Structure 1
Amino acid sequence: MADLPSTTLTSEITKFQPTNTNDGWFHYPVRVYPHHTDYSGVVWHGMYLTWMEEARVECLRTVGMSFEELVSAGVDLPVAEMSLRYHRSARMGDDVLVMTKLVPDKVRLNWEYQIRTETDLCVTATVTLVPVDFEKRKLLRSLPSSLEGAIAKLAGI
């Protein structure tokens, strides 16, 4: 297999790197591929949920909290509530920006989202997660200290 020139590969990867911004939003870029769409080239509505989860997991990872660490610590973060509003469909070939911001509320983690193309707002959403003891399947009354630390880092962005 031929090696690609590193400068080309590096510039392509850098162009699509997730980033934290000064206004509290985490930016997670996505290119819409054929497998994200229906037969007409319009993004399937459920794909936005996948992108939102990817953005949320990557956002936490950038401040030192990997999902694997949460699972190892016996913590699950199931979705307790979700609200989505579809404004416009993204289409095959679009570059989409999934923006997310954490708004903590005691032990509830409220994630706000905006998904947009370069010119249009596609989806706005809020997803609420709650911490649960993985084995006992009981709601935790406080966040694990490692998760609190990650949230504090996000609040400082």
Structure 2
Amino acid sequence: MSQNQSPQLLPTGEIQNLPRLAFENWFEYAIRAHPHHTDYAGVVWHGSYLTWMEEARVECLRSIGIELADLVALGCDLPVVELSIRYHRPIKLGMAAIVKTRMVNVSGVKINWDYQIQSPNFQDLYVSAQVTLVAIDRERGKIMRQLPEAMKEALARLAAIGEK
């Protein structure tokens, strides 16, 4: 490698080699880096990416008929219990990007999601991540035995869309 080239980060095996469902459809959510997302140098702060990923996941769920407010009313919460994130390239003030998310699989009350944050032309990868959520009974503060029926039905619709 010459002195003028900076090293390129390889994707992490933990993210790239996780088991996948048969579908490849991604939900896409457009973002733009505003001043409150950045540090003093105009580079997006690492935590801003997490906020964008959650926004994309919430909008993806909304697109299949799951409103988080409705889940809360049912007594269900979906906290993040595991997160793996790889920062490939920085996003800077004013830049636009696309947050892509997809449900990878559901195992009992655990829901796994993949993320990629890319340039609008999909040529540059800024972030890749994997998040695991688990359904919690809000009243008891314990893991639920099974997902609420309305959520199971909506997630089945999401999986059916992805398999087409």
Is TM (by shorter chain) over 0.5? yes
Could you report, residue by residue, the CA deviation over 1:18-73 in whole angstroms, capped at 9, with x for unpaired residues?
Answer: xxxx9420000001111111111111000000001100111000110000000000
User: Deviation above 6 Å: which 4+ runs of structure 1?
Assistant: none
Paired residue total: 136
Alignment of 1:1-157 (within 5 A): 23-103=24-104, 104-118=106-120, 119-157=123-161
Report the secondary structure of 1:68's partner residue: helix
Report the secondary structure of 2:154's partner residue: helix
Among the aligned pairs, what percent are the same residue?
A: 54
Larger RCO (CA within 8 A; separation ≥ 6): 2
Name structure 1 gaps, 5 residues minimum: 1-21
Name structure 2 gaps, 5 residues minimum: 1-22
Which TM-score applies when normalising by structure 1?
0.83
> Mean alpha-carbon deviation: is it higher for 98-107 or for 133-142?
98-107
- CA RMSD in angstroms comes to 1.2
Report the secondary structure of 2:43's partner residue: coil
User: 1:97 Cα deviation (Å)?
Assistant: 0.4
8 Å contact kept, 1:24–1:155: no
> Mean alpha-carbon deviation: is it higher for 146-155 or for 65-74?
146-155
Alignment partner, residue 11 of structure 1:
none
> Mean alpha-carbon deviation: is it higher for 117-126 or for 22-31?
22-31
Alignment partner, residue 7 of structure 1:
none
Report the secondary structure of 1:141's partner residue: coil
8 Å contact kept, 1:24–1:154: no
User: 1:117 Cα deviation (Å)?
Assistant: 1.5
